[in-house]
Amino acid sequence: MLLAATISTGAAVSAAKKKTAATKPQPPKAVGAAALLAVAQHQLEANNLQAAADYATSASSKAPQLVDYAQYVRAQAEYGLKNYTEVGKSAARVFDATPLSPLTGPAAAIAVRAELDSDDPKQALLLVKKYYDRIPQPEGDLLLARSYQATGDLAQAAEYFQRVYYNYPSAKEATDAANALVDVKQRLGDAYPPPMPKAILGRGEKLIAAHNPEAARIEYEAAIPQLGGVERDQARVRLGEVDFLSGKADVAFQYLTQLKVDESEADAERLDYIIRCARKLNKQADVKEYLTHLEQAHPNSTWRLDALIFVADQARIDHDPNTYLPLYRACAATFPQDARAAWCSWRVAYESYRTDAADTYDQLRNYIAHYPASTDVNNALYFLGRFEERRNQLGAARACYDQLLARFPNTYFAVVGRERLKDPGMEAATADAAMVEFLRGVAWPPRPEFPSFTPGPLASKRIDRAQLLELAGLTDWADGELKFGALNDGAQENVYAYYLAKAAAGRGAPDQALHYIKTYAPNYLFMPLDQAPATFWTLAFPMPYRNLIDRYSRNQSLDPFLVAALIRQESEFNVRVISYANAYGLMQILPTSGRELARHFGIRRFRSSELLTAERNLQLGTYYFRNLLNSYGGQVELALASYNAGPSRANLWRTWGPFREPAEFIEAVPFHQTRGYIQIVLRNADVYQKLYAGRVPDVPVYHPKPAPKTKVKRKRRVSTGAGR
């Protein structure tokens, strides 16, 4: 019996929502003058173009706060009616809107198309250059290419058609660009500018990233005759990589070992993938041989760093410290400035701690000093504190825990650090001056001052506009207004995230509210709980279906806050979500597991769709988690490891002890995803306890800060040279 827990990040949940059942568009709501805008949009969608234009014109005068939205609808309608002069007039009013409109780029795109269709390519070119940074890509590059093509500048047109084709291979615009390039190439003849080799290789890389290795193979095969030097060799190597990524490690190994390349970086990449193939095929002798070859031939290549980490991480899965420790040491010593060296250095430092090595103190302090921006520095602070406790240096330990709580308040190690501070000896200890001085001297990465949640003038305008759009039933535009502000206004991203989340929660979408906070206030977990309104935290840690969670948790003698914490990480409370691994609902249960679990409750004719209801999913999921806890003697960390990675792996990892405390077991887990999963769920449970255990949240009082007074500079996307 296996329960899948495959969704562990906001991004994965967001992607899985694509499989959630679609909802029908709602009819416009008649709310004040903004209702005219909703009617105009409704008429546009029904292809009643003249009616859409008329309603949009009326909305412009009666809802002046939303004039840009009304004029954008009008521009679309007039374009459909082929009234191209009117398109330009409407687009101009969008451009002039204050604050800067989210529709500036889309309106510019319509205006450019209108100028092209009306045979005024010079004006089209001026427009697309002026608003290039605002037009969504790859549409911006395609319109720029079309404008150059229409003005007769075929060389520039070729360059931008190539950008679309090579940089956005999965976009529909890539097909348009490919067709246009055939014509442009024929017309230019020998003057046709060849695409840059890096762009050709980049298209293959993007296809691989889009999980389309077979398309990447076709790209590389076509590219080889066009390329020379290192790029040609890299394309040849990547044909083997495509086989490896397609699950044909034996084919890739044979091809890459026989392949001869001249360029050193291509050869380093070849050796890296030979090592990966050999590891996959359990050819351990070949792994060592090719690692040695890579070190001798290309000691400072980042492909060697890649191979070192890959083999070391795989050896951790095999619990083989004799293999992984030398590799991590080589990584940290040879590539100290690479961000990935922090991981290697941490594994070396933690191994010293785990084995009580003589250099433990130096290893942990050196790690903190050299990698203060790493994701594992909070781990290092905690274990340095525990090391000092074992040496009876309680003041030094206290200093470590104090620093941990101040810098990383919402992490698993802060949770266990707070527990350590409740120990009577620690509670009475005074922070050691020498340790405080050491920690004060660390070059901690700067973080912005905890932000105000009081909207400033610009944010207030956007919030008002979004609320009008929301009242009119134009929820996509309402959210888009706030998203645009978060990405472009240069400040108060947290305010926009907060109001986005409140709007989503008001629509009965707590999962979307949580996702908005994760996306638009990505540093929210660095804030102590007293630096944001309690409502912000309940949006970030929602508890919908609370009655059901309480009931089924109580039935299984589970902590409901732990169950909520697990659900937050599994599905973000999206009851209808189906993951790409085919796990269903709140607690992400596989249909096969669901059928087996249902038998315990005597449920006949069980259907997988039942897992997409909160009640059935919680009934089965809590029962399964209770069984896991029972099998591990109530050890939550082991149960969570089993829930995420499967019982066989958790059973193996528990034999790697002894562990002096649960944190040591978590640190021993060799899967990055599972290690992080356990920490996040336990952190979540701590926050849920604070927010929901009492009648009011058990968090310090939030004292609102005034809105920022200074005018902020808007963020701008970097231009790619369209103005040349």
The confidence score (pLDDT) of residue 31 equals: 52
Cβ contact 318:279 at 8 Å? no
pLDDT digits (tens, 9 = 90+) for 262-317: 999 999 999 999 999 999 999 999 999 999 999 999 999 999 999 999 999 999 99
d(CA 537, CA 367): 32
- Does residue 6 register a pLDDT over 90? no
The torsion angles phi and psi of 64, rounded to 5 degrees, stand at -60, -25
Within-domain flag for 445 = no
Within-domain flag for 28 = no
* Neighbouring residues of 149: CB distance < 8 A, sequence distance ≥ 6: 157, 161, 180, 184
DSSP secondary structure string for all residues of 76-136: HHHHHTT-HHHHHHHHHHHHT-SSPPTTHHHHHHHHHHHHHHTT-HHHHHHHHHHTTTTSP
In eight-state DSSP terms, residue 443 is -
The confidence score (pLDDT) of residue 32 equals: 72
Q: Which of 218, 248, 276 is the last residue of a domain?
A: 218
The residue segments making up the domain with residue 160 are 34-218
Within-domain flag for 354 = no
Which of 241-245, 417-421, 670-674, 702-706 is predicted with the least confidence, judged by mean pLDDT?
702-706
- Does residue 640 register a pLDDT over 60? yes
Q: Which of 218, 251, 278 is the last residue of a domain?
A: 218
Residue 375, CB half-sphere, CA atoms under 13 Å: how many? Answer: 10
- Does residue 712 register a pLDDT over 50? no
pLDDT digits (tens, 9 = 90+) for 416-435: 999 999 999 999 999 999 99
- Does residue 715 register a pLDDT over 50? no
The confidence score (pLDDT) of residue 533 equals: 95
Within-domain flag for 136 = yes
- Does residue 85 register a pLDDT over 70? yes
Within-domain flag for 444 = no
Q: Which of 169, 193, 218 is the last residue of a domain?
A: 218
Average confidence (pLDDT) over 517-528: 94
pLDDT digits (tens, 9 = 90+) for 122-132: 999 999 999 99
Confidence of residue 722 (pLDDT cuts 50, 70, 90): very low
The CATH number for 684's domain is 1.10.530.10
d(CA 269, CA 309): 14
The domain tally of the chain equals 2
pLDDT digits (tens, 9 = 90+) for 149-177: 999 999 999 999 999 999 999 999 999 99
- Does residue 713 register a pLDDT over 60? no
- Does residue 148 register a pLDDT over 60? yes
The confidence score (pLDDT) of residue 698 equals: 85
- Does residue 44 register a pLDDT over 60? yes
What global pTM score does this model have?
0.90
- Does residue 710 register a pLDDT over 80? no
Between 713 and 576, the more confident residue is 576
State the chain's mean pLDDT as an integer: 92
Within-domain flag for 319 = no
The confidence score (pLDDT) of residue 711 equals: 54
The confidence score (pLDDT) of residue 141 equals: 98
Within-domain flag for 524 = no
DSSP secondary structure string for all residues of 154-172: HHHHHHHHHHHHHH-TTSH
Q: Which DSSP helix (H) or strand (E) runs through 362? A: helix 360-370
The confidence score (pLDDT) of residue 27 equals: 46
Within-domain flag for 580 = yes
The CATH number for 150's domain is 1.25.40.10
